[in-house]
Structure 1
Amino acid sequence: MSSTSSRRRTRRPALALSAFTLTLVSLTACAAPATPPAPSSDAVTFDDVQSATIQIEAVGTFVSPEEGGYEAAGRGSGFLVSSDGIAVTNNHVVVGAGTLDVWLGGDTDKTYNAKVLGSSECLDLAVIQLPGDSFPFFEWRKGEIKTATDVYAAGFPLGDPTFTMTRGIVSKASTPGETPWASLDSVIEHDARIRGGNSGGPLVDEKGRLVGVNYAGNNTYDTNLAIHRDEVTAVIDDLIAGNDILSLGINAQAIADENGQGLGVWVSSVQSGSPADKAGVEPGDLLTKLQGVTLAQDGTLADYCDVLRTHGQDATLDVDLYRPADGIYYRGQFNGDALEAVQVLSTPGETSDSSEVAEGEFVSITDDSGNIQVEVPAAWNQLDGAGYTNDDGTWSSVIASPDMAGFADGWETPGVWVAASQDASTKVTPDELLRRADEFLAENCAPQELSPFEDGVHTGTYQVYEQCGGVGAAYVFLAATANDGSYTITVAVQANTEADLSAIDRVIGSFIAQF
């Protein structure tokens, strides 16, 4: 699926989040350069960098893809930028936290309770407020930031209250920052080592002036990234004023399967009162589509953040997500209709029991051409990905079943058949495809009422058939056209057990076509 930006065509090595020693997630974006504030004679010098660097402990409920849910404290770093307690850190260090405890300069004898003023998951920036005044603070470096500039990464790695600094140089003064945790036009790449817990800490020059905000590192490739000074100064006044930027209020990470196929944007935590919170998004959800755009196909947040850049965070945005905790797909809107379960075979108002088909029992399959992708039970392991041609055109096709012959010839074996064609979009309507299917299915099953289908990408109709073949099988046939008119798609699924019924919802909620 095409995106709204041309920035993300090159994939970078995955970067291990440097931050929060317990949470996984989010990162940055981009803004127009801004002139750094004028220097202040009261700002700290290089010898006093520690005094204006803070350690942050966030306590709350977080969910990781690997470890599941936990209520715990994660620690990151930050730094003060004014004497009245304004501090900068990463969004992923603080978003979704129930409480924020802050220690100044490694002094654990005095704890400050901070509050978040403004944040951005795409920029991976947050501004927090410490109570009090007369704090030591940093000023921003003036002038150009060049390759080979000496830099120092400061912070509190690994949750240790002992302050550390590492030394390096700027290896790339400006480089694209498309990562699983962020989408940036320009970041600083340097070799001052960043470790877990350093996220949100300052990157400074030899005079102690701010160059950027550290947010990610990869020890294998000895790569360390910082949000460029100009990105921060362009938005910091808005964040201080309490305005979130390029943000729906989630702690986000693009994730992929073991084959590198993007699965979506994982939500580790949710900011209370945010658009995500109001829509019903929960920690542990996986966002799969936003405003009709399939997310994280390239393993980064680029698509997610580009939708926000295109429409704005206050727009009504269609969203599809999968919730592993209950095994159900949901559809709804940010700043609009709340999430509702995708329940093809359920009675309206009821929630289907998907406990029989757990998250780990599904796999993502594609047809031979790579045009179709859909999630099916792992037990449906006999596949046919060959396409075909008929009077309507050339079709990409994928069939999955535990017994291909049984699925093709009888009513006692479950399975799925998804087919899509660019030619057919100009030759046959979804209604005609439904009529053809009904000629056969109505003779063998009890047809239910036709129902409209719309998922933000496709518009069409589906029909449920019950008591098929005298063995009580259920069958769903869906026909739809892409909203841009580029292709027609059909989905046929047969269920023979309660677990299969749950699989139907998963299939209908996960199919994707890309031409």
Structure 2
Amino acid sequence: MLPGAGPATKAVDFDDVQSATVYIKGQGTFIDPGTTGSSEVAWIGSGFIVSESGLAMTNNHVVVGAGTLSGYLGGDPSKEVKVKVLGASECLDLAVVQLEGDGFPYLGWHQGEIKTGLDVYSAGYPFGAAEEFTLTRGIVSKNDFSFDTQWASLAHVIEHDARIRGGNSGGPLVDPDGAIVGVNYAGNDSLDYNYAIHRDVAQKAFKALSKGERVSSIGINAQAWQSEDGSLAGVWVQSVAAGGPADAAGIEPGDLIYKLGGVSVGADGTLADYCKVLDTQGVDATIDVDVYRPQTDSAMTGQINGKELKVTATGVLGGTATTNSGGFTTVSDDTGTVKMNVPSEWSDVDGSTITGADGRTWYSVVASSSIAGFQSSFTTSGAQLVATDPSLTPDAALAMFDFSSQCSVTTPSSAYDDGYYAGVYTEYDCAGTYEGVLATQDTGGNGTLVLIAQLNSDYEKGTVLSQLLNTFQLG
């Protein structure tokens, strides 16, 4: 039992939800979709305790591929616990972990039908200035629908407006009594879409995964992906769970599974076909798998739960497939006031402080493959994050960074609120280049930030933009 912990004889109520949540830190080696270079990265996520014995739930993408995992009860750095993965499913994007100890506070499950209009709260630890526990409020806007994404395929999903952000992944969506309605797993920061895995899916998966049973999974951190030139499509393997079926078959991080069970997968940009094969065949069945390995430009064939991968062809694409070279790097200004994650190939970085014509001080970091190109044209991708004192409102800041005379406005000034930062943003089309400007203030009112993103490839407009929005921060 943890020092000072008493027996938890019943589920906690709403006021004590934080005590039954877990702030999760992971570290491991990943190969991001479309890249050929591995990078050791650290990340955060959320989880919640479901039993007094320390069984907890989170997302598959929070834990699979981690070399190390640490959990902090209620987000308290003095309450660190060891985390062991018992089971995970890439198709459901769910995982069950065991926390070391017992006598844990835990959450109960929402009883009865989950109806549209139900008051709900997202609990967790989103990216932000302090990465502390947050609770955002909303309602269920869609109570049950199927939803296929790049990294999951689910028959029962809840849409709600209790705002989530990167880092909330794996955290609970609870009702006014503090009972579990769903597991947060996806969202769109710019459009304010927030999605949770339905309670019914989570409960069923919990029973199986807590016993170590495999559910719709071969043991990978997966993402549907297509190359910019359209020559490749499939399920990208970002990381592999040690000892799982994919590992036993010889599948490695950075591989692209383009056929499973003789069926092309990932071509529609989702895991739908991949997961249908697993659910049809069963996870213990011997399933043929066809893989492309970009690092060696080779095609490979093997079996899940059968024959290990063997090379069937080399020089398949002659090195012509469009990929990116590396992962992400955290950059900050020279004073450490602002920071964000950018692609590693954006190695031209300037963290100099700027003084405006009006005498206003801006703490700034800009990153690109060429800052000169980024600042002089729209053809060079890059990003800049600046911060100044909060006397400048987000609306006024947004007006200072106006590209409407050079570009077409695709999204006029719109509200932004992720639970830590609130403000406004505008999006532009600059002859095919995405230009986005976001002006915000943190909830503590410590400063005004402006994020400018200039992105060209589909990879940048998707993965890179998501990284920027999930990692920009003040302090």
Q: Within 1, Cα distance between the matches of 2:269 and 2:13?
A: 40
Residues 86 and 98 in structure 2, CA contact (< 8 A), matched pair in contact too:
yes
> Is 1:360 aligned with 2:328?
no
Match of 1:264 among 234, 237, 240: 234
Q: CA deviation at 1:357?
A: 2.7
Q: Is the 8 A contact 2:94 2:205 kept in 1?
A: no
- In 2 relative to 1, CA 357–215 (structure 1 residues): closer, same or farther, beyond 3 Å? same
Q: Distance in 1 between matches of 2:66 and 2:135?
A: 27
Distance 1:361 1:94 in 2: 25
Task: Give 1:46-57 correspondences, 5 Å limit.
Answer: 46-57=14-25
| Number of residue pairs matched by the alignment | 315
Native 8 Å contact 1:213 1:228 kept in 2: yes
Query: Which of 45, 48, 53 is the equivalent residue of 2:13?
Result: 45
> Could you tell me which residue of structure 1 aligns to residue 311 of structure 2?
341
Hey, what does 2:173 align to over in structure 1? 203
Asked if 2 retains the 8 angstrom alpha-carbon contact of 1:145 and 1:211, the reply is: yes
Q: Hey, what's the Cα distance between the residues in 2 that align with 1:273 and 1:90?
A: 19
Residue 276 of structure 2 is matched in structure 1 by 306
* Deviation readout 1:353-390 (Å, 9 max, x if unpaired): 7896353399xxxxxxxxxxxxxxxxxxxxxxxxxxxx
Q: Does 1:135 align with 2:104?
A: yes
Deviation of 1:99 after TM superposition, in Å, equals: 1.4
Hey, what does 1:64 align to over in structure 2?
32
Pair 1:239 & 2:221 matched:
no
Q: Secondary structure at the match of 2:103?
A: coil
- The reply to whether residue 103 of structure 1 matches residue 65 of structure 2 is no
2:91 is equivalent to residue 122 of structure 1: yes
Alignment of 1:306-325 (within 5 A): 306-325=276-295
Q: Quote how far apart the aligned CAs of 1:41 are.
A: 6.0
In 2, the alpha carbon distance for the partners of 1:109 and 1:236 equals: 28
CA contact (8 A) 1:262 1:299 kept: no
* TM-score, structure 1 as length reference: 0.59
The one-character-per-residue Cα deviations of 1:283-312 (angstroms, maximum 9, x if unpaired) are 111110001100012211010000011111
| Distance change (3 Å), C-alpha of 1:259 and 1:171 | farther
The answer to whether residue 162 in structure 2 is matched with residue 192 in structure 1 is: yes
Letter paired with 1:101: S
Q: Deviations over 1:387-422 (max 9, x none)?
A: xxxxxxxxxxxxxxxxxxxxxxxxxxxxxxxxxxxx
Deviation of 1:259 after TM superposition, in Å, equals 7.2
CA distance 1:361–1:129, change in 2 (3 Å): closer
Deviation at 1:221, TM superposition (A): 2.4
Alignment of 1:65-104 (within 5 A): 65=33, 68-104=37-73
Work out the CA distance in 2 between the residues paired with 1:121 and 1:70.
21
CA distance in 1, matches of 2:12, 2:79: 20
Say if 1:147 and 1:161 are closer, same or farther in 2 by CA, change over 3 A: same
- 2:116 and 2:229 mapped to 1: Cα distance? 36
Structure 1: which amino acid aligns with 2:319?
A: V
Q: Which amino acid aligns with 1:278?
A: A
SS in 1 for 2:102: coil
Structure-2 change in CA distance of 1:356 and 1:261 (3 Å): closer
* Structure 1 residues 265-304: aligned runs within 5 Å: 265-304=235-274
1:169 to 117, 139, 145: 139
Gaps of 5+ in 2: 1-7, 325-475
Please state how far the C-alpha of 1:210 moved relative to its aligned partner. 0.5
Q: Return the letter of the residue paired with 1:288.
A: Y
SS in structure 1 of the partner of residue 153 of structure 2: strand
Task: Report matched runs for 1:366-381 at 5 Å.
Answer: none
- Secondary structure of 1:276 counterpart: helix
Match of 1:78, as an amino acid? G
Question: Could you say if the C-alpha distance between residues 260 and 187 of structure 1 is closer, same or farther in structure 2, counting changes exceeding 3 Å?
Answer: farther
Name the SS for the 2:203 alignment partner. Answer: helix
SS at match of 1:157: coil
Q: Mark the runs of 5 or more structure 1 residues left unpaired by the alignment.
A: 1-39, 344-351, 363-515
**Percent pairwise identity:** 57
RMSD: 2.1
- State the shift of 1:235 in Å: 2.5
Distance 1:284 1:226, change over 3 A: same
Distance 1:93 1:360 in 2: 27
The 1-side partners of 2:144 and 2:305 are apart by 35
3-state SS in 2 of match to 1:109: coil
Alignment partner, residue 470 of structure 2: none
Residue 385 (structure 1) aligns with: none
Deviation at 1:212, TM superposition (A): 0.3
Q: 1:104 and 1:261, CA in 2 relative to 1: closer, same or farther beyond 3 A?
A: farther
Deviation at 1:44, TM superposition (A): 1.1
Matched residue, 2:222 = 252
What is the CA–CA distance in structure 2 between the aligned matches of 1:259 and 1:178, rounded to whole Å?
23
Between the aligned partners of 2:114 and 2:231, the Cα distance in structure 1 is 37
Q: Which amino acid aligns with 1:341?
A: V
The one-letter code matched in structure 2 to 1:44 is V
Equivalent residue of 1:158, what SS? coil
Q: In terms of mean alpha carbon deviation, does 60-69 or 185-194 score higher?
A: 60-69
Whether the aligned pair in 2 keeps the contact of 1:86 and 1:128 (CA below 8 Å) is yes
The separation in 1 between residues aligned to 2:244 and 2:60, in whole angstroms, is: 14
In 1, Cα distance between equivalents of 2:76 and 2:163:
23
CA contact (8 A) 2:34 2:322 kept: no
Counterpart AA for 1:43: A
TM-score scaled to structure 2, two decimals?
A: 0.64
Instruction: Tell whether 2:153 aligns with 1:183.
Output: yes
CA distance in 1, matches of 2:309, 2:108: 44
Would the aligned equivalents of 2:33 and 2:223 in 1 still touch at CA under 8 Å? Answer: no
